[in-house]
Amino acid sequence: MRKLSYREAIREAMVEEMARDEQVVVIGEDVGCYGGCFKVTPGLIERFGTRQVIETPVSEEGLVGVAVGAAMMGMRPIVEIMYGDFSTLAADPIINHAAKMSFMTAGQVSVPMVYRTPMGSGTGAAAQHTQSLEVLFTNVPGLKVVYAATPADAKGLLKSAVRDPGPVIFLEHKLYGTEDIVPEGEYTIPIGQADIKRQGTDVTIVTYGKTVFTALEASQVLEDDEVSVELVDLRSLRPLDTATILASVRKTGRVVVVHEAPGFGGFAGEVISQIVEDPITFAALRAPVARVCGKELPTPFNKTLEMQLPPSSHAIVDAVLSLFPSAV
């Protein structure tokens, strides 16, 4: 079995899809000779040329608008935006056009576009380059939103996103050098299907993106305390695999929801609502639902301070143990 880094897995997915279908094009700032802001696209322009790898001016709204129009005309653009924070600049063509075009034309026009961008902290790039803005998209009908944690999931989900008939927001964490086993050969992962990264019986942790690894670390610590953790990696935020979440919570009776974005108005609220609004799952709860989220403030430039913002494994452990009063 071979190992690929997160960036290599994403690149391999794009190469395979661009070779399979010449209508698949990569559009973005510095995606050609420079190889992309996080070095995901090196070698693409040399292999596929300037027709399939399109360098753009520094205008997120403009380049995404071009991609939306190209998708409407039959192409399948993969847009790369340097930082997820810049999604605020590209919000109009995504939210007001790409998401609504199929509905407004009664299905006559589709927008098969992938919008790739990294989210979250970890780069020491301060407040305007480290936000987690996934809920900017999850509240918009017409958009699919995925957030892969592992290299294998990133490749399989990206290939599915490219082939999807509508716009897909493909969110990436910034641990681009993370390596893991990636299957060889053709495979896809269905959008809307969560993955149980760890089986357990005592408590469910629901998370996605980079905090999957934080939760796995916490799970190892909790194992020493004889607490068996089941870890649900959502992978897809919209559509949400509610069935997998509910089945896990019914089994364990306890749940902690974790993400890097601040808790107020964050995606954890939607996950918790799905749990407590289901009568059978609500009745199965043995303790109140808990959540562990990022701190409610912009990201400081200082790296030591930045490290204090995302959920830590210690905070997750404390939240889990609080659900077992006898263990506290």
Is the CB of residue 177 less than 8 Å from the CB of residue 7?
Answer: yes
Closest CA to 148 of 116, 123, 111, 184: 116
Q: Distance between CA 78 and CA 56 in Å, rounded?
A: 13
Largest CA distance in the chain: 64
**Distance separating alpha carbons of residues 157 and 170, to the nearest angstrom:** 8
Name the residue type at position 260.
E
What is the spatial distance between Cα 311 and Cα 206, in angstroms, rounded to a whole number? 13
DSSP assignments along 291-303, one per residue? EEEE-SSPPPSSH
CB of 205 closer than 8 Å to CB of 320? yes
259 catalytically annotated: no
Give the orientation angle of helix 313-321 with respect to helix 211-224, to 10 degrees: 50
CA distance 187 to 138: 26
The one catalytic residue among 60, 80, 134, 230? 60
| Ramachandran quadrant class, 6 (left: phi over 0; alpha: psi -120 to 50; beta: rest) | alpha
- Separation between Cα atoms, residue 223 and residue 314, nearest integer Å: 13
Question: Is 60 marked active-site?
Answer: yes
Residue 139 tokens read as 């509240």
CA distance 210 to 90: 24
Torsion over CA of 141, 144, 149 and 153, rounded to 10 degrees?
Answer: 160
Which stretch of DSSP H or E encloses residue 10?
helix 6-20
Q: Are 290 and 257 in contact (CB under 8 A)?
A: yes
Which member of 8, 29, 80, 129 is catalytic? 129
Q: Which residues are catalytic?
A: 60, 129
